[in-house]
Chain A
Amino acid sequence: LAKTTQPVSMDSYEGQEVNITCSHNNIATNDYITWYQQFPSQGPRFIIQGYKTKVTNEVASLFIPADRKSSTLSLPRVSLSDTAVYYCLVARAGSQGNLIFGKGTKLSVKP
């Protein structure tokens, strides 16, 4: 099972781009990388998922290098409302038992 490692916390200012990196050295061929956002007193919410190279949606981009041993969540022009905990998850296709969340990165956005 691919364990994940993320920074415990990060600080940023409004309007900046924030990049959060997750390490998953033991990722397997059929593992996918997913990022979730969690606000206090709420359940995690899906942000983005990818397998390789780059994925972009309306809220974030996900960069995955060729060796797939890490991934970087990029949040463009953060606002105060992006203050939350961000979790990196490695999930194996077709295998519901292989779901390991990282310990999360607490992002604090300041004015």
Chain B
Amino acid sequence: DTAVSQTPKYLVTQMGNDKSIKCEQNLGHDTMYWYKQDSKKFLKIMFSYNNKELIINETVPNRFSPKSPDKAHLNLHINSLELGDSAVYFCASSQEPPYEQYFGPGTRLTVT
């Protein structure tokens, strides 16, 4: 069984659209994360979330919002997509930091 899964793997959409990326983990972890990796391969954390708190990287536009229906899922919603949102988005999970994070396979988002 895949530990951390994401859907879709590829997402191509037009500017201005709203889209969601789903993430599920079956590891029983308490904390989940979303990362953005741009074309230069810089890996930047966007959000981290557990049942206690949501921590948002202050550089993330408010067009991005995480939604957690339950402990095993953390979905990423993006409104009014822009060209600069094109990147690979990774979901991850872990026990409470600093424990190792398990990453999903990534979702490549292309905004045209």
Contacts and interface: CB of A to CB of B under 8 A. Distances in A.
Nearest to A48: B100
A43 B90 contact: yes
Contact of B33 (A45, A98, A99, A100): A99
Interface residues of B, number: 25
A73 to B, nearest CB: 15
Interface stretch (A15-23, A62-70, A88-96): A88-96
Interface of B: 4, 31, 33, 41-45, 48-50, 53, 55, 90, 92, 96-98, 100-106
Contacts of A85: 41
B97 A99 contact: yes
A85 B33 CA distance: 20
Interface in A31-62: 31-32, 34, 36, 41-46, 49
Given A42-B106, A97-B55, A103 B98 contact: no
Given A96-B48, A96-B50, A99-B33, A34 B100 contact: yes
A41 B55 CA distance: 27
Given A41-B106, A43-B106, A44-B43, A97 B48 contact: yes
Nearest to A43: B103
